[in-house]
Structure 1
Amino acid sequence: MGGSEPADQLRVAPVADEAPGYAVETFSYPDAAKILAEQGITLKRGDGHILLVPCGSETDLLEVWARDRDKVCFKVTGSSGFLSLDVPAVFAIKGNDYSTSVDMTVGTEQKSFDLLKNAWTSVGEATDPEGRDHALVEITAKR
């Protein structure tokens, strides 16, 4: 072996003590707890292409109208996006330039609505014969 130690006494030392950690993307919405506390909206997870923004901050926003709250606006970026959220008592949404669909829940039922581009779409309780509260639970958009 060419060394001064007998082969049965050779030791192998690790090059590094530990392997580097792994980054795991959870797709959780940043500052979700703060947004819930300040606005009463639960933003769960998404791909980063549908973002909560101040209404009136720019054009081509999705505008969500719900009872007992100010409108809530979202900006869509890129070629597609999704956002899982919870906004209670939604009755209308104004679409933007994207083909957008929303999923809503009422009790144990789930309902989907395709939004009109750049126009208002009645959704949730506005379309329900019983006028029940519908929560907006997902937004999906694509070019």
Structure 2
Amino acid sequence: MKLQRTSWRIVGAAMAAGAVAWLAIGASESTAGTGSVASVADESPGYAVEKYAYPQADKILAEKNIVLKRGDGHITLADCVTDTGQLEVWAHDKADKICFDVKGTSGWLTLEIPAVYGIRGNDYETQVDMTVGTEEKSFDVAKNTWTAVGASADEQGRDHMLVEIRSTK
């Protein structure tokens, strides 16, 4: 007798659960046409897409007249400090050198610095891309010494714009 009562309780509970499920399905179908139900995908956060834009680029342009576009964060504009292993860039229209810290095993930075004529390398293998008019030129920067680039390396002495720095350890 006790076993029969337990069996009936289990059957009754199962029927009640089925009825609740049936009502829930019926209720969701009746509101489907009203547009008040949103899919779960609409509520989930979107994908994070890194655009690699240089942080505070507008502020740097206003204060230092240097255009920093995009990078991976491993080559960053820095205050110049002697003997710290920075990349040093010299340009005709700048009163002083422009320095960059390089961190990690590799890095890249796109930028615009006009009239660049020399770069002092650091412990990294560094290549720079420059433009003069519609012409593009690449230069390998010697480690820990000065490399003539742009106007200094051009037979015609034309001003070149530095547009990309790439470094690897």
TM score, norm. by length of structure 1 = 0.91
1:100-139 to 2 correspondence within 5 Å?
Answer: 100-139=126-165
Partner of 1:34: 59
Paired positions, count: 143
Amino acid at match of 1:139: I
Residue identity in the other structure for 1:61: Q
Q: CA deviation at 1:128?
A: 0.9
* Secondary structure of the structure 1 residue equivalent to 2:19: coil
AA aligned to 1:36 is L
Normalized per residue, the structure richer in strand is 1
Q: Which of these two proteins has the greater Rg computed from alpha carbons?
A: 2
Letter in 1 for 2:167: A
CA–CA distance in structure 2, aligned partners of residues 52 and 4 of structure 1: 62
Asked whether the equivalents of residues 93 and 114 of structure 2 are also in contact (C-alpha less than 8 Å), the reply is no
Q: 1:59-86 deviations in whole A, cap 9, x for unaligned?
A: 1000000002121000100000000000
- Structure 1 runs, 4 residues or longer, greater than 4 Å off: 4-8, 12-17
Residue 101 of structure 2 aligns with which residue? 75
**1:22 paired to 2:47:** yes
* CA shift in 2, pair 1:4/1:135, >3 Å: closer
Q: What displacement does 1:23 show?
A: 2.0
1:63 equivalent in structure 2: 88
RMSD of equivalent CA atoms: 2.2
Larger helix fraction of residues: 2
5+ residue gaps, structure 2? 1-17, 30-36
Deviation at 1:2, TM superposition (A): 2.0
> Structure 1 vs Structure 2: percent identity of aligned residues?
57
Distance verdict in 2 for CA 1:6–1:82, change over 3 Å: closer
Tell me, in whole angstroms, the C-alpha distance in 1 between the residues paired with 2:104 and 2:135.
31
Determine the C-alpha separation between the residues in 2 that align with 1:24 and 1:52.
23
